[in-house]
Amino acid sequence: MIKVLVGGCFDVLHIGHVKFLRQAKSFGDYLIVLLESDANIKKLKGSTRPIHNQKERKEVLEALKFVDKVIILPDVVNNIFYDNLVKKINTGKISRS
């Protein structure tokens, strides 16, 4: 099985997001989306964002038929966190549910 991993804010889901995610899925069998935290979006996009909280954004992404799994990210992430997460995904320690 080929797993595809992408990430982003996906605060206001639009056609560009849908096309991006659909194309990402076309590169493999299983699409995993890493979802940025509310705090990180606020830092990136300003005090009025996010418009939708992380739980709501996760629910919207999970409703897309080509998204297989959404992993919510904590407020503080670094390269070690990402490396460990990718290792868990590659070894199957991140469940499919």
In DSSP notation, 44-67 reads HH-TT--SS-HHHHHHHHHTSTT-
- Bridge partner residues of 5 (DSSP): 32
43 classed as catalytic:
yes
Which of 19, 43, 55, 88 is catalytic? The answer is 43
Structure tokens at 27: 């590169």
Pick the catalytic residue: 3, 25, 42, 45?
45
**Side-by-side strand order, sheet with 69-72:** 3-8, 30-35, 69-72
Q: Does residue 45 have an active-site annotation?
A: yes
By annotation, the residues acting in catalysis are 43, 45
